[in-house]
């Protein structure tokens, strides 16, 4: 029926569409090429097939909590579990004595004074020994350029490096430990650990402790260490950041996501989480370990925890909070959801979200950019249950770190790529590449079928195809311009002292103007370009060609992203598939057209940001202004994969389909009048 309506509509405007059985060069009826006939036959029901693939992909995604796989250890990593740790009480006492020395410093003094006091105290304490255990100690003043959305800052600071170079090593590879200078308990522990490592016989990699500065500037000290040659490092194989506020903790959070969701070697994560879960290493507290600063599965009442700990909500994504609340609501209706399903569902979605937004979760992110496998160990924001003392915690954490470093010392082989593409649920289970590959293939298959089906289902002429190509390219070029907007603004308005709110006003205003331009001005401009190129008046944009081409452009970019970020690929494929469903047909009835247009407007990419802001304001009590301030603390936004995809994939595809819907609506109104 829809095809008949289209033909009537074409006849009404006096321009017959091309019959697929007619050769345009001569008006004689000719046989359709075999390839086209086969494709038309195979894709007769392409919409149904593509939507079944979409439903299957969503269904498989929901089944993830049921298909976890037991963790994998390589032989080199597994062997260290059979060794008895030698980190003893004397080593823990050494850390406590350093901590007592650091506690005498005046932390209320100015930052530079406190940093110099800390470094001087560390140097004095280490040099007071008759035989220093370290091979090299050096201060490093640095200057790092921080590129925020609305400004560029030159961050100055100073790091302190302490290196151990074993006799059996060759200096070509190293393991890095980093710790912020102002977290005294972590600093004292790391020095005690370093002293113990200096006397072991199994070490064949250099160990370098980086006492870093610049923590409030997105870990500028770590970046300065990586980019400088202040101290010889060789190839940095692994790195662990000790970011523990206090050693009186209930949970240790193992943070894994780096820049753009990059992950470390799964062996490295498994060793640390496995040790933290072992009963003879447990520090007398439940729920070890976790993978997030705020783990919703580790507290019986999320809302009460947020009220008790104000900073808890800062680490809870709104999407994960709503998902957890939805599962709790289902339980309240008497539906028995297994605890394992709820926990794995929340944890895997939290990992998926962290990889999706492409924002690093800890200081280890800078090492991942150098292909160094890195994690951050930090405190989880949760209730304290027991206080067993720093001495015992130092002792237990020292034994855990000893085995972890011994394992890293053995992990010198390059493992299979699949073990860098995963989602961890707990210390015993994970989702590997083989688990989410069906999702990716079904989503991409849905998009590929939509592209081929709509392209070959169209009976428009080649000139109308060219018309659609110009229209689609102009929208995607506009997406690139939207992507470049903050960069251009930052350079253009650099001489103006704009705060974050003023810059956001300019930025949002320009983006809105660009989007509205693509929906209102691009079509007449494209018509003028068509008239100039073909010396003829164009027909309205053919919606099948426009849809097919926009899905093709987006699908190519999504396919490229699949190699880098599975989470982003799944998200983009889902969004594009929803747009395809909303535009299965372009109805001829005005009311149906309006309903379709409203549905497309509801699917606007910007609505995702608006909903997230409103949810955080309603449930977390966060003001919109404070949320914007957080947004302006992100560094290197132009390199963020989610931002790139949002501007260059989601917005252009949406504007093409909405613009085509608006054109179709006005064409229908003109016909009625």
Task: Kindly tell me if the per-residue pLDDT of 7 is higher than 60.
Answer: no
Task: Kindly tell me if the per-residue pLDDT of 139 is higher than 90.
Answer: yes
The β-bridge relationship of strands 152-164 and 136-147 is: antiparallel
Q: Match 């190129």 to its residue by tokens.
A: 533
Q: What are 439's two structure tokens?
A: 């999702």
80-431 maps to CATH 3.40.630.10: yes
pLDDT tens sequence across 145-178: 888 888 888 889 999 999 999 877 777 889 999 9
What does the pLDDT read at residue 476? 96
Burial zone of 322 (CB within 10 Å; 0-12 exposed, 13-18 middle, 19+ buried): middle
Task: For residue 397, give the nearest of 254, 265, 275 by alpha carbon.
Answer: 275
What does the pLDDT read at residue 55? 92
- List Cβ neighbours of 597 (8 Å cut-off, separation of 6 or more): 658, 661, 662, 665
**Residue-averaged pLDDT of the chain:** 83
From residue 175, alpha-carbon distances to 197, 232, 235, 536 in Å are: 12, 12, 9, 68
What does the pLDDT read at residue 196? 94
Look at the chain and count its residues. 673
What does the pLDDT read at residue 63? 84
Q: Match 């990699």 to its residue by tokens.
A: 205
What does the pLDDT read at residue 283? 57
pLDDT, average across residues 448-461: 82
What does the pLDDT read at residue 152? 83
What does the pLDDT read at residue 282? 57
What does the pLDDT read at residue 129? 82
Q: Match 């994960």 to its residue by tokens.
A: 320
Rounded distance, CA 97 to CA 403, Å? 23
Between 566-582 and 46-62, two packed helices, what is the crossing angle to 10 degrees?
140
Task: Kindly tell me if the per-residue pLDDT of 27 is higher than 50.
Answer: no
Confidence of residue 6 (pLDDT cuts 50, 70, 90): very low
pLDDT above 70: percentage of residues in the chain: 87
Task: Kindly tell me if the per-residue pLDDT of 664 is higher than 70.
Answer: yes
Task: Kindly tell me if the per-residue pLDDT of 280 is higher than 70.
Answer: no
Task: For residue 659, give the nearest of 583, 559, 565, 566 by alpha carbon.
Answer: 583
Task: For residue 157, give the nearest of 212, 87, 105, 110 by alpha carbon.
Answer: 212
Q: Which long-range contacts (CB under 8 A, 24 or more apart) does 633-639 make?
A: 633/148, 633/218, 634/148, 634/149, 634/359, 635/146, 635/147, 635/148, 635/218, 636/147, 636/259, 637/148, 637/149, 637/486, 638/483, 638/486, 638/487, 639/259, 639/260
Domain boundaries, the chain: 2-62+434-672, 80-431
What does the pLDDT read at residue 284? 52
Can you spell out the DSSP letters for 131-146?
A: S-S-SEEEEEEEEEEE
pLDDT tens sequence across 177-218: 999 999 999 999 999 999 999 998 888 889 999 999 877 667
What does the pLDDT read at residue 665? 78
pLDDT, average across residues 65-71: 81
pLDDT, average across residues 479-502: 86
39 vs 482, more confident: 482
* Sign of CA pseudo-dihedral 650, 651, 653, 659: positive
What does the pLDDT read at residue 453? 85
Q: What is the SS3 assignment for 378?
A: strand
Q: What are 628's two structure tokens?
A: 């914007």
pLDDT tens sequence across 547-605: 999 999 999 999 888 878 889 999 999 999 999 999 988 888 888 889 999 999 999 99
pLDDT tens sequence across 308-351: 888 888 889 999 999 999 998 988 888 888 888 888 889 999 99
Q: Are 345 and 235 in contact (CB under 8 A)?
A: no
Strands of 69-70's sheet in order across: 69-70, 429-431, 423-424
């Amino acid at each position: 029926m829809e095809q008949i309506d289209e033909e009537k509509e074409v006849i009404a405007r006096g321009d017959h569409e091309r019959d697929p059985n007619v050769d345009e060069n001569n008006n004689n009826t000719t046989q359709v090429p075999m390839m086209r006939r086969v494709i038309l036959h195979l894709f007769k029901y392409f919409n149904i097939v593509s939507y079944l693939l979409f439903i299957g992909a969503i269904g498989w995604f929901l089944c993830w909590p049921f298909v976890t796989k037991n963790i994998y250890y390589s032989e080199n990593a597994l062997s260290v579990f059979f060794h008895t740790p030698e980190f003893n009480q004397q080593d823990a006492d050494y850390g406590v004595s350093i901590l007592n020395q650091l506690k005498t410093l005046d932390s209320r003094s100015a930052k530079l004074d406190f940093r110099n006091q800390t470094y001087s105290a560390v140097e004095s304490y280490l040099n007071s020994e008759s035989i220093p255990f370290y091979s090299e100690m050096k201060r490093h003043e640095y200057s790092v350029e921080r590129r925020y959305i609305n400004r560029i800052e030159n961050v100055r600071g100073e790091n302190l490096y302490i290196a151990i170079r074993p006799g059996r090593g060759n200096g070509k590879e190293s393991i890095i430990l980093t710790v912020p200078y102002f977290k005294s308990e972590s600093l004292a522990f790391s020095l005690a650990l370093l002293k113990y490592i200096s006397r072991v016989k199994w070490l064949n990699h250099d160990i370098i402790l980086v006492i870093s500065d610049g923590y409030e500037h997105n870990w500028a000290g770590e970046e300065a260490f990586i980019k400088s040659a202040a101290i010889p490092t060789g190839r940095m194989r692994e790195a662990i950041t000790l970011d523990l506020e206090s050693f009186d903790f209930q949970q240790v959070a193992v943070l894994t996501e780096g820049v753009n969701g990059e992950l470390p070697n799964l062996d490295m994560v498994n060793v640390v989480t496995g040790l933290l879960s072992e009963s003879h290493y447990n520090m007398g507290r439940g729920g070890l370990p976790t993978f997030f600063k705020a783990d919703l599965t580790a507290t019986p009442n999320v809302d009460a925890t947020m009220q008790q700990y104000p900073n808890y909500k800062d680490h809870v994504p709104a999407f994960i909070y709503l998902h957890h609340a939805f599962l709790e609501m289902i339980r309240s209706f008497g539906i028995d959801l297994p605890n394992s399903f709820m926990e794995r569902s929340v944890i895997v979605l939290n990992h998926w979200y962290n990889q999706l937004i492409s924002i690093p979760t800890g200081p280890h992110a800078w090492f991942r950019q150098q292909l160094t496998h890195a994690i951050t160990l930090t405190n989880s924001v949760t209730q304290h249950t027991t206080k067993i003392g720093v001495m015992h915690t130092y002792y237990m954490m020292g034994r855990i770190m000893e085995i972890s470093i011994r394992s890293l010392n053995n992990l010198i082989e390059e493992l299979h790529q699949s073990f860098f593409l995963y989602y961890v649920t707990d210390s015993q289970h994970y989702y590997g590449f083989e688990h989410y590959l069906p999702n990716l293939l079904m989503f991409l298959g849905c998009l590929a079928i939509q592209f081929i089906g709509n392209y070959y289902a169209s009976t428009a002429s080649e000139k109308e195809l060219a018309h659609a190509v110009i229209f689609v390219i102009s929208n995607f070029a506009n997406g690139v311009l939207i992507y470049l907007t903050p960069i251009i603004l930052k350079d253009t308005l650099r001489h103006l002292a704009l705060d974050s709110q003023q810059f956001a006003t300019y930025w949002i205003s320009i983006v809105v103007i660009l989007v509205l331009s693509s929906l209102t001005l691009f079509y007449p401009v494209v018509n003028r370009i068509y008239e100039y190129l073909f010396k003829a008046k164009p027909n309205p944009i053919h919606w099948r060609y426009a849809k097919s081409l926009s899905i093709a452009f987006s699908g190519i970019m999504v396919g490229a992203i699949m190699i880098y970020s599975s989470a982003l690929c799944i998200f983009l494929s889902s969004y594009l598939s929803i747009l395809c469903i909303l535009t299965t047909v372009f109805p001829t009835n005005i009311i149906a057209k309006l309903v379709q247009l409203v549905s497309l407007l509801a699917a606007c990419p910007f609505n995702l940001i608006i909903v997230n802001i409103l949810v955080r304001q309603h449930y977390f009590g966060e003001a919109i202004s404070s949320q914007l301030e957080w947004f302006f603390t992100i560094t290197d936004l132009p390199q963020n994969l989610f931002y790139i995809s949002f501007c260059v994939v989601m917005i252009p595809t949406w504007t093409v389909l909405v613009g085509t819907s608006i054109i179709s609506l006005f064409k229908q109104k003109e016909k009625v009048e």
